[in-house]
Amino acid sequence: MRTTRDSIILLLLVLESESTEHGITAALFSHIRAGLLFINSNEDNSGQGLLALGDSFTSGGGLQSYPHVAANLLNWQVGNFAVGGSKTTDIWLQLLRASSVLHMATHVVLTIGGNDLEGLQSLAGIAQLNMTLFEERCANFKPKLVSTYKLIKSFLPADAKFYALPYVDFVSVGNKIPYEAESHRVMQTMNNLVRNAAIEANVNYVDTIVSAFLDHEMYSTDSYIDDFSHPTNPLHPNLKGYAKIGEVLAAYLRAN
């Protein structure tokens, strides 16, 4: 039997899918839905609440995003307030939208920084990329990333655990694409930045995410990533990929 909560969420899904407006209106439906799910999902749980913030690597997959997968495996409540295309300057708005449930968050996960650094654009234009300048840009961006982590921490309950996630290295192996080694170097440079900023801000870093797509990289037989030519989701995990990241995250949270 459908509950009142299920009916409200269904209505929001319909409104969100039929809305002809973009930006704030569409995001509003998404975040209201996220809040409802956070409050009501997985009701037979251990009192743990997983809150997600960040960019498309966290928002992607909708109700099959990696935070939802992880929370379902752990039987935790979940609310995903991440928005595709977000930069560090957008995090305050996500915190504002999540303000009514922040006190319920026992664990917080985040991917951010890739859009600030134009990481995917750098991969797409790897032939023209000046790697030295890219590495300098990442180094110069570190204080901003540290301050973003500290901003998030200032909004959270004192006992909440905060985890910065790296970007899964989805680049192919075996010389399947030109400039493959350089592409891996781009991913490594961004993830080193995330790790170092997390250490400075005293935030947990989930290192196991980096290699989550081992044997399932771009152009592998069973790829967990949509490649350069995908019409709507290039260089982002597919649903198998988000499920795998969720599994890896759940295992990490159980162990830590």
The total domain count for the chain is: 2
In terms of domains, do 179 and 209 share one? yes
In terms of domains, do 6 and 98 share one? no
In terms of domains, do 31 and 65 share one? no
In terms of domains, do 240 and 169 share one? yes
Over range 124-144, report the average pLDDT: 97
In terms of domains, do 110 and 213 share one? yes
Over range 143-150, report the average pLDDT: 98
Q: Which residue segment(s) compose the domain that 4 sits in?
A: 1-40
In terms of domains, do 223 and 101 share one? yes
Task: Convert the pLDDT of each residue in 66-104 to its tens digit.
Answer: 999 999 999 999 999 999 999 999 999 999 999 999 999
More confident residue, 147 or 32: 147
Q: Is the pLDDT of residue 6 over 70?
A: no
More confident residue, 183 or 30: 183
Over range 212-227, report the average pLDDT: 97
Mean of all residue pLDDT scores within the chain: 88
Task: Convert the pLDDT of each residue in 59-68 to its tens digit.
Answer: 999 999 999 9
In terms of domains, do 186 and 239 share one? yes
What's the pLDDT score for residue 33?
A: 52
CATH number of the domain at 104, please.
Answer: 3.40.50.1110
**Residue 56 near residue 85 (C-beta atoms within 8 A):** yes
In terms of domains, do 26 and 52 share one? no
pTM given for the model: 0.85
Over range 11-32, report the average pLDDT: 44
What's the pLDDT score for residue 3?
A: 40
SS3 assignment for the chain: CCCHHHHHHHHHHHHHHHCCCCCHHHHHHHHHHHHHHHHHCCCCCCCCEEEEEECHHHHCCHHHCHHHHHHHHHCCEEEECCCCCCCHHHHHHHHHHCCCCHHHCCEEEEECCCCCCCHHHHHHCHHHCCHHHHHHHHHHHHHHHHHHHHHHHHHCCCCCEEEECCCCCCCCCCCCCCCHHHHHHHHHHHHHHHHHHHHHCCCEECHHHCCCCCCCCCCCCCCCEECCCCCCCCCEECHHHHHHHHHHHHHHHHHC
In terms of domains, do 105 and 226 share one? yes
